[in-house]
Structure 1
């Protein structure tokens, strides 16, 4: 109601009702602001607050869409997570804001003071002259828009550079300044509930009608010019890795490759080729001196590949290398990395990158780690031979062609992968091995062939990559066998007649069983040998091939023998060695025995099994590997 209606002066109740019906009018710029006020209502606000509101502040009520600070605002609110508000800024970047100060708001709006002044005016007392923009009102509007969007977790909804899957299993390719989805290029922003922020541009695929058929073949010709230990097979696996590296975020399993070779094998030139094919700086994270925290902080929400050179065994950098290898394993399966922050709040990061590590020598690793990577080894180039000449522009063009080809054939990916996985499983590979090598072979197939392979074709390659070909590079002993090898070769401190005995020789003497490799029997009496063993938490009961070794659950000297191994435990705690020994065929829990005056519970295992000894006349048989699988081998799941 206005003063002109019927010539009556509006009552305070009427003015109050009018103000309540447009609550944002007194707070210019608020979301939903802008309902018209009568002159009398504006007079009343000015009289009571000292400030005169404009007739319309910001967009009309209800005009702004979800996430918009005002209608068609280039800056969009994403939501709130804890004390942080999240926005897409003027340039399309995702920004986390805790303090909405003047400089932060101005930076988010790309320095456009004119735009802020238009929506959040600061005027002179009379309201006639605009003297700037109101930071408090802009901050309130931004925070309100973010809060109305609700809780927003960047870990779950933010996707950076690289390839990703949409809800239908198709590929979304984030190239920095544009997003390719269902054959169309789109500006960075929100797609199906995920936010793809703008970033530095990385190489795009070629046009769909570009010639791509010969690109993979040409790249294979380059790769085969190096001398691989397994020839064409290793070259195929590396080709497959490069294809996987481009589409890592869209894969269920991201293969890990370790490249080794001595000086003079052309390893550095090969690294250069890989870098150019994958798009060079920006499209590939390369380093020769990285740490695990630096990698996951640099990658953030991206699914870009990682290539690390000179990952050499180093006593001083052992913990750093262990952390990098662990991070690469987590990335293979898309594992969740959780770290504490400087603000005492946890940080989460999901790794989705394909890793390639290279070195002259590989650092020591657990067998279950080695079995989860493709080990590609280079031999010396022939006399007078040189690494091929690499033309960066040609390699980048090949990389673009591979991206195009993989996109065009993506509809065949699932079927191709399952065919190779089934073929590899038939050749003795575990489920994880089939994931690792099936993914590499299937991606190489996608690059080189035009149709889905036949089962017979897949079996041909699976035969070349049968499980024994991989396990030749890895000691496939069970965990308890590795423990036995470590423990039985330890030498105990007491000397007897100028001889220092190993645990194995003392066990043989105590059981009166077997001889050394040179045919000599242990030159120590059984009772004396058992006395030395007992001091270290070990005890032999029985004789000959019926003898059993009792191992204390807890013992300080036994802890020392296993120090710096994965089976160690601090004195006074149940040893990790107990978990491993329970897996020995024929192992049994045993009542307590006295070690050093104290009664300690034990586990009893057949001594000949640990020593891998058979009675005379019996044919030696290989270790029994048909028992229950080692739980440690499935840790990554």
Structure 2
């Protein structure tokens, strides 16, 4: 493959790396810094300087402001995309080391190495070799730095052993701040300049970090042949071992010599052990720093840490007798290893109030909820990570075996230490807003202390193609809208859809009209320009199917043929889902397969299309802008232009999505500027300001001035008024939704009410549990007759608790629910035996969710 320096830089370090690349000159001792946007300048500088200078580039990216001569150090490294090896030739070096004789020998050994190189170049006196990781190692804290350093050392040792097996040596160059010669420059160190020639360039080659990590946790042998494992955590040992906790804590001042030596054997094998050992040893009256140092070194030189059996013999039996780990470990140091997920193992997220433990599977990029019983099962753990992962961390008593129970217990403890897990923290693919900053999560790693960004399957966008924005705007005017200004509002929806997750409010759009009005064409165009972000489906889709397909993603959903002659309950459930997706962090409650409630936030926007939409509640219409089409007039010129536009949109790929993502940070400010000049109901001000603001940003690539915002508000005033509905009816639906979402016995109340309805209809045999849950709240479900529906007792005390702390507290819920369309006062008394009440409010049965118990499913992440 032909080598290009600019392509090499972009592929190895990435197009948007953190920090700066440092290029150092041997002649001037000066360091030049280049950010992601400076690559073309870097290439030009190298071309200009390579004939006279030895130029080196750092393996890791480094922060800005290090100084004109500083290349950075391992302590300042920010990101490491791979590993480096320097293979010198014996023919070019006067050294006692057994270097490979020449390039042919070295290249032959590289070809038989377990990992294929990304780049091999002749440095003039040897080979410079780069191995690329499948994902860069981002360094944000001490743990990340230690992990990166260890991974580079593992690869360096592995390559050194490979050469050693053939009788040769190579130098160790595994530090994070290592520099290598810039490809295709010149080596000026001796005599005539030698070209730093690229021998192999294979951008498709990379090393899976998870595979390399397995080498990291394999025990090495010390000089006595004793397995040496990674250092433990002193705090964890203290928490789990009562003997160690006492003699490194309050008992340290009175410890005898054998006990002090025993604690040293454990502390010496903990991270930061020297400091910790001196800290607790200093409490003893006979403490001497020099003696303590000798004791610690002696403890390290011994075969291993004290065993539980030895500790018991030393007088620790009073601590060991009731130790919960007795019989499952051989030494307290094992407790200090805790649970380390590495880069491939499940990461602990915490626990839920239903008793589940939340884990992140970094390979499958999903969140898993598991019970304690599942985590203690071998088959379940093997579903989370491969055998080698568990075996290296939790070896059994027999050689080659694994202590899966210890592994499961470690996972459970790690989740408990992590604390309560809130699924609202999960964010999937899409464009998001975090603390005022736009975050694009489509495949590149996203680091955040506030949210957990997941990307199960990467989405690739083409940022190089230009999109004719005005052509899309003009295209929508080709259709016959009952209100011509609706074309601009739909254009605004198409503009906000790719960045819907970065908005505080997400309106939905509904295009409807008779056959031959262009609905299908508009749906097709929307699907084309929003690809690959959009999820496109038809009206046969279910709420559960959409919800599970979306998971935590913030991607637009397009639903064609959303017709009212289909299952009414199915359509209502989807509309209810759309309502919940409009606001920023409204939780949606659904049952998990294990029968436990699970809440998550849904951020998406819907585009519906149908011939005759019906059955929408006022709450639906306050979030969904309705755009009516009329039958087209068979204008051949318009038909030709529509077909030509559709072909153009197909040719632009993902350019529209890329265009709007670049402008995502402008959409909300533009909407806020326009909202200042709108009047009327808050919901519809939000809808219109977002649609108008997004459309303006798409066309002008900036926010409107105050005068422009005012002009837009005036021009669309009549349209905004036409779309508006009374807000109090929306409040009634929100109140009822809050009631349905209230969790009782681990499930939403809507589930129990649906179960009562199914039972009375003869589709379920057992409704006793549902009656037990619902009756104390003062709610009944009555089927049949003229007034079938949900009956709620006036002033029911249980509902006061449900609405406590909301705007519907202190019986305001009664006023709100009476505003629901079709609500009624029963003509006859309704018996509520547990409450002794007879007066009630009736709500039509169609307001209940459709799903029977077997249909309730939790979110799939």
Select the residue among 425, 433, 436 that pairs with 1:165.
433
Q: How far off its partner does 1:342 sit?
A: 5.5
Does 1:289 find its partner at 2:540?
yes
> Structure 2: how far apart are the matches of 1:140 and 1:577?
51
Q: Aligned with 1:328: secondary structure?
A: helix
Residue 456 of structure 2 is matched in structure 1 by 199
Q: Deviation string for 1:79-129 (max 9, x for gaps)?
A: 2224222222241432222211222222222x3x223322222353xxxxx
Secondary structure of 2:400's counterpart equals strand
- Whole-Å separation in 1 of the counterparts to 2:708 and 2:305: 86
After TM superposition, list the pairs within 5 Å mapping 1:488-503 onto structure 2: none
Find the counterpart in structure 2 of residue 402 from structure 1.
656
Which residue does 2:486 correspond to in 1? 234
Pairing of 1:191-270 with structure 2 (within 5 A) = 191-204=448-461, 206=463, 210=464, 212=466, 214-231=467-484, 233-270=485-522
How much has 1:444 moved relative to structure 2? 0.7
On the 8 A contact 1:88/1:197 being kept in 2, the answer is: no
For 2:483 and 2:389, the matched residues in 1 are separated by: 64
Deviation of 1:288 after TM superposition, in Å, equals 1.8
Are the structure 2 counterparts of residues 398 and 435 from structure 1 closer, same or farther at C-alpha, using a change threshold of 3 Å? farther
Give the TM-score taking structure 2 as reference length.
0.46
Cα distance in 1, alignment partners of residues 842 and 411 from structure 2: 58
Structure 2: distance between partners of 1:437 and 1:236: 11
Instruction: Identify the range of structure 1 (568-577 vs 362-371) with the bigger mean alpha-carbon deviation.
Output: 568-577
Contact kept in structure 1, 2:265 and 2:306, CA below 8 Å: no
CA drift at 1:361: 0.6
Aligned to 2:822: 566
- Contact 1:75/1:88, CA 8 A, preserved across alignment: yes
Q: 1:55 to 1:71 in 2, by over 3 A?
A: farther
> Aligned equivalents of 2:345 and 2:523: distance in 1?
42
How far is the alpha carbon of 1:397 from its aligned partner? 6.8
- With over 3 angstroms needed to count, the CA separation of the structure-2 counterparts of 1:475 and 1:422, relative to structure 1, is closer
One of 581, 604, 611 as aligned partner of 1:353: 604
| 1:409–1:446 contact (8 Å) kept in structure 2 | yes
Matched, 1:333 2:583: yes
Aligned to 1:620: none
CA offsets, 1:521-557, max 9 Å, x none? xxxxxxxxxxxxxxxxxxxxxxxxxxxxxxxxxxxxx
Q: 1:108 aligns with which of 363, 380, 384?
A: 384
- Cα 1:353–1:22 change in 2 (3 A) is farther
Instruction: Please report how far the alpha carbon of residue 451 of structure 1 lies from its aligned counterpart in structure 2 after TM superposition.
Output: 3.1
Q: Judge conservation of contact 1:69–1:77 (CA < 8 Å) in 2.
A: no
Deviation at residue 449 of structure 1 after TM alignment: 0.3
CA–CA distance in 1 between the matches of 2:471 and 2:726? Answer: 37
Picking from 78, 89, 95, the partner of 2:361 is 89
Match of 2:348 in 1: 77
Residue aligning to 2:714: 463
How far does residue 199 in structure 1 lie from its aligned partner after superposition?
0.9
Partners in 1 of 2:327 and 2:725 — Cα distance? 83
Q: Deviations over 1:282-310 (max 9, x none)?
A: 64252321233333343332222122222
How far apart in 1 are the matches of 2:357 and 2:380?
A: 12
Preserved CA contact (<8 Å) 1:15 1:41: no
Quote the residue 1:122 is aligned against. Answer: 396
- CA offset at residue 418 of structure 1? 2.2
Q: What CA RMSD, in Å, does the superposition of the two structures yield over aligned residues?
A: 4.0
Which structure 2 segments of 5+ residues have no match? Answer: 1-254, 270-275, 277-298, 314-325, 730-817, 830-837, 844-861
CA pair 118-477 structure 1, distance change in 2 beyond 3 A: closer
Aligned pairs for 1:218-617 within 5 A = 218-231=471-484, 233-280=485-532, 283-314=534-565, 317-334=567-584, 335-341=586-592, 343-367=594-618, 369-383=620-634, 385=636, 386=639, 388-389=642-643, 395=649, 398=652, 400-425=654-679, 429-466=680-717, 468-472=718-722, 566-571=822-827, 572=829
Gaps of 5+ in 1: 1-11, 27-31, 125-129, 179-186, 480-561, 579-637
Give me the whole-angstrom Cα distance separating, in 1, the residues matched to 2:487 and 2:508. 15
| Number of aligned residues | 441
Q: Distance in 2 between matches of 1:283 and 1:416?
A: 24
Partner of 2:496, secondary structure, is helix
CA shift for structure 1 position 51: 8.7
Scaled by the length of structure 1, the TM-score of the pair is 0.60
Q: Evaluate the alpha carbon distance shift between residue 444 and residue 160 of structure 1 in structure 2; reply closer, same or farther with a 3 A threshold.
A: same
**1:259 CA drift (Å):** 0.6
Structure 1 residues 422, 394: closer, same or farther in 2, change over 3 A?
A: same
Instruction: Render the CA deviation track for 1:35-63: whole Å, top value 9, x for unaligned.
Output: 967569449469998899589759xx58x
SS in 1 for 2:432: strand
* Contact 1:286-1:307 at 8 Å conserved across structures: yes
Provide the rounded CA distance (Å) in 1 between the counterparts of 2:842 and 2:309: 82
Provide the rounded CA distance (Å) in 2 between the counterparts of 1:194 and 1:225: 43
What whole-Å deviation, never above 9, does each CA across 1:234-263 have from its counterpart, x for those lacking one? 222122112222111211110111110211
Q: SS of 1:444's equivalent?
A: helix
Offset of residue 469 of structure 1: 3.0
Q: Does structure 1 conserve the Cα–Cα contact (< 8 Å) formed by 2:343 and 2:362?
A: no
Question: Would the aligned equivalents of 2:514 and 2:629 in 1 still touch at CA under 8 Å?
Answer: yes
